[in-house]
Structure 1
Amino acid sequence: MKQSYVYILKCADDTYYTGITSNLPKRINEHTIGLHKDSYTYSRRPFKMVFYAEFTDINLAIKTEKQIKNWSRAKKEALINGDFEKLPNLAKKNFNS
């Protein structure tokens, strides 16, 4: 089975970019050289790859990428830092604000 990767980049403007690819080194190089001028990361270079996960099921990889893109910054940082026990609590909405 072909590998797929979901990755998170921390951009120069302190934002996070989440992407998916089947060739991680190639895709990171494309971000680095600014191959796609209309991409989110083009004007936010340099960046640092702060997380990636491997998948053998492309459908699960796509689902995971979409899920992470909808997460709060705090939840993304918990994932990046390996604080997996914090993830369920960070999913709860605060209705008292």
Structure 2
Amino acid sequence: MEIPVKDGFYFYVLKCADNTLYGGYTTNLINRVTTHNAGKGAKYTKPERRRPVQLLYFESFESQHDAMHAEYSFKHQTRQKKLKYLKENDVDYS
């Protein structure tokens, strides 16, 4: 997966080292994943047991609102529905 270098509005999904999923919003994917792996990205990815994280999926949006809405929707799904969403978007979660 090629990560965009340009800034934009992105919803992204990470696979954590403990095999959990994390969804987030950012304007710079490369910096955000680097920050998560440094333990400074979010409370959820701060514990060492969750790192390193791997970028599984991202979508770009026209507005911050739309990207944040995608993040919110993803975070409020069950794990089963999150995995279904990833599968529907051709993401191999193995």
**TM beyond 0.5:** yes
- TM-score, normalization by structure 2: 0.76
The 1:83–1:55 alpha-carbon spacing in structure 2 relative to 1, beyond 3 Å, is closer
The percentage of aligned residue pairs carrying the same residue is 34
1:45 has 2:51 as partner: yes
| Richer in helix (by share) | 1
| Superposed displacement of residue 71, structure 1 | 0.7
Instruction: Classify the secondary structure of the residue corresponding to 1:42.
Output: coil
Where in structure 2 are there 5+ consecutive unaligned residues? 1-6
Partner of 1:75: 81
Instruction: Classify the secondary structure of the residue corresponding to 1:8.
Output: strand
1:62 has 2:68 as partner: yes
Please provide the CA RMSD for this pair.
1.9
Name which of structure 1's ranges 8-17 and 38-47 shifts more when overlaid on structure 2: 38-47
| Superposed displacement of residue 82, structure 1 | 2.4
Partner of 1:23: 28
Q: Which amino acid aligns with 2:37?
A: T
C-alpha distance in structure 2 between counterparts of 1:35 and 1:64, whole Å: 22
| Superposed displacement of residue 6, structure 1 | 0.6
State the structure with more CA Rg.
1
Where in structure 1 are there 5+ consecutive unaligned residues? 85-97
Equivalent position to 2:14, from 9, 13, 16: 9
- TM-score, normalization by structure 1: 0.74
C-alpha distance in structure 1 between counterparts of 2:85 and 2:46, whole Å: 24
Write out the 4+ residue segments of structure 1 that deviate beyond 4 Å after TM superposition. Answer: none
How many residue pairs were aligned? 82
